[in-house]
């Protein structure tokens, strides 16, 4: 159709140019009437041939117009479809932009939360290190205190054994004095000194199987309750014997 339409357009342009040339011709000026020769008669065959050519051009023009109308209708349909697709794409693009903005806000909030968690984590790590150092120092202090307690318990146990030995020896001395001495006043004096010594050593004496913590507490209580200027058991016994 397009190959056939090209010569038709050229022919249409030729006809149009001829008509424009006829319209552009200036109007005839009045001239002196000169007798002119009679025009030659136009053959009817040429006029009939021109009319058929114009009819052919008109038919081809009608076909061309019909073809162009169809093409225009087709292009309009395609344009409408493209507009519909464009509106759909525009709507989808707007929806994607909104989703992107929402995701960006969510990512910003998550990033801020992650930074806050990192700060809290760093603070907790620092506190854990500090508490580990404190726990290590406390463990060392506990080991030292346990060692000191063990040494003091051993010292107190030895002292208790010594006190018990003194008390047993004093008991045997009192028994010997009561059996062999006939001086009642001397016996009473020895008994009084024995009672004083028993009071200094805590009455009935101390149990060697007593717990170390009890020995520790009783030792300190005895140290606080005992007069530092009071004479010891050995000094009393030596003064009684005259040394």
Q: What is the pLDDT along the chain (243 residues), one digit of tens a residue?
A: 444 445 545 555 554 555 445 545 555 554 545 444 544 444 444 444 558 888 888 999 999 999 999 999 999 999 999 999 999 999 999 999 999 999 989 999 999 999 999 999 999 999 999 999 999 999 999 999 999 999 999 999 999 999 888 888 888 888 888 888 888 888 888 888 888 877 765 544 445 454 444 544 444 444 444 454 555 545 554 454 444
Report the pLDDT value the prediction gives residue 235, as an integer from 0 to 100. Answer: 54
31/13 Cα distance (integer angstroms): 34
Q: What is the pTM of this model?
A: 0.35
223/152 Cα distance (integer angstroms): 15
Of 242, 243, 233, the closest CA to residue 171 belongs to 233
Report the pLDDT value the prediction gives residue 74, as an integer from 0 to 100. Answer: 94
Vertex 215 angle, CA 212 and 218, to 5°: 150
Report the pLDDT value the prediction gives residue 178, as an integer from 0 to 100. Answer: 85
Report the pLDDT value the prediction gives residue 117, as an integer from 0 to 100. Answer: 94
Report the pLDDT value the prediction gives residue 189, as an integer from 0 to 100. Answer: 86
Report the pLDDT value the prediction gives residue 229, as an integer from 0 to 100. Answer: 56
241/243 Cα distance (integer angstroms): 6
For residue 212, count CB atoms less than 10 angstroms from its CB and return exposed for 0-12, middle for 13-18, buried for 19 or more. middle
Radius of gyration of the chain (CA): 69
Report the pLDDT value the prediction gives residue 200, as an integer from 0 to 100. Answer: 66
Which are the contacts of 64, defined by CB distance < 8 A and separation ≥ 6? Answer: 5, 8, 9
For residue 75, CA distances in Å to 44, 78, 80, 215 come to 46, 5, 8, 114
């Amino acid at each position: 159709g397009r190959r056939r339409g090209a010569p038709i357009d050229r022919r249409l342009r030729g006809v149009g140019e001829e008509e424009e040339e006829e319209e552009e011709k200036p109007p005839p000026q009045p001239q002196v009437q000169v007798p002119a020769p009679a025009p030659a008669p136009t053959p009817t065959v040429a006029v009939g041939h021109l009319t058929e050519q114009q009819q052919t051009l008109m038919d081809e023009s009608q076909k061309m117009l019909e073809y162009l109308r169809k093409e225009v209708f087709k292009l309009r349909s395609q344009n409408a479809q493209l507009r519909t697709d464009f509106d759909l794409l525009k709507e989808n693009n707007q929806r994607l932009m909104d989703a992107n903005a929402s995701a960006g806000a969510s990512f910003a909030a998550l990033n801020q939360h992650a930074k806050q968690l990192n700060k809290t984590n760093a603070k907790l790590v620092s506190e854990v290190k500090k508490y580990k150092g404190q726990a290590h120092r406390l463990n060392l202090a506990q080991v030292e205190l346990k060692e000191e307690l063990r040494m003091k318990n051993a010292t107190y146990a030895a002292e208790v054994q010594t006190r018990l030995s003194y008390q047993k020896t004093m008991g045997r001395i009192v028994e010997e004095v009561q059996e062999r001495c006939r001086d009642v006043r001397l016996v009473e004096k020895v008994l009084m000194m024995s009672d004083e010594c028993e009071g200094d050593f805590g009455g009935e004496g101390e149990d060697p199987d007593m717990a170390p913590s009890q020995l520790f507490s009783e030792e300190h209580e005895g140290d606080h309750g005992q007069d530092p200027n009071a004479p010891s058991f050995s000094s009393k016994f030596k003064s009684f014997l005259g040394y």
